[in-house]
Structure 1
Amino acid sequence: MITGLDHVQLAVPAGSEEILRIFYGDVLGMTEVPKPAVLAARGGCWFTSGAVTLHLGVEQDFRPARKAHPALVVTDLDALARRLAARGHDVTWADGEIPGVRRFHTADPFGNRLEFQAA
């Protein structure tokens, strides 16, 4: 029986760690979590915020996930949309598509699709 979700992994290109730290850490406000040494040698970064953990793992033949995506719940959707837009990230609102759900999509610096929903 499935009882929870431990983490979501997104693929990223090799050598992208500093850009990941800026986007997921500075822009989204997530906290970087140290990877175990054996996994750190592979590159990438892990981030957490509240009950959410994202593993950003290096894929040698990287292609961004443009359809598949995590949907992350945030406390202030409008503030996050403004912060993303101010940092040059496109925000595409999808209000009204799902009754009662305010949400938008954006992409990380490598093209991975992300959805954000109001709490």
Structure 2
Amino acid sequence: MPRFHHANLGMPPGLDEREGAFLVGVLGYRKLVPPAELVGRAQWYEADDGSQIHLSVDPDHRPAARAHTAIEVDDGVEGRLDTAGVPYRSANAGDLVVIFCDDPAGNHWELRRPLSR
């Protein structure tokens, strides 16, 4: 049975700190140290379940028009998005709230959380 390990997302040079602040401060990932040969070219982040997001510096980065990364998040994510100044839109989908936003590099995210009761 396959198990998700990581998604690799591109970012233009110079966005390392802003991308890291989004992944750690808004989404709750923790920063890892990448292998020595990738230092300066990639950043790695990990969630509590072991799944990872890798960010690769790409001078020609262009966010995909429709592709996105979807993750499950907690109830406080909207407040963290507001505090970080990240615009988003949300909709109810059954027993979920689905939130759509972009990270500083323009990569699209779908954040899924339980509908508050």
TM-score (norm 1): 0.84
Q: For this pair of structures, how many residues does the alignment match? A: 113
Q: Percent identity?
A: 30
8 A contact 1:16–1:44 mirrored in 2 = no
1:51-102 Cα deviation digits (max 9, x unpaired)? 22101111121102342111110132xx101210222111210323xx4432
The structure whose residues are more often strand, as a share, is: 2
How far, CA to CA, are the matches of 1:109 and 1:14 in structure 2?
12
Question: Residue in 2 aligned with 1:16?
Answer: 15
Farther-moved stretch of structure 1 (24-33 vs 5-14): 24-33
Deviation at 1:105, TM superposition (A): 0.6
Calculate the aligned-residue CA RMSD, in Å. 1.7
TM-score (norm 2): 0.85
Matched, 1:82 2:89: no
Deviation at 1:46, TM superposition (A): 0.8
Farther-moved stretch of structure 1 (29-38 vs 19-28): 19-28
How far, CA to CA, are the matches of 2:62 and 2:107 in structure 1?
9
* Structure 2 residue ranges without an equivalent (≥5): none
Counterpart of 1:94, as a letter, is: A
How far, CA to CA, are the matches of 1:75 and 1:23 in structure 2?
15
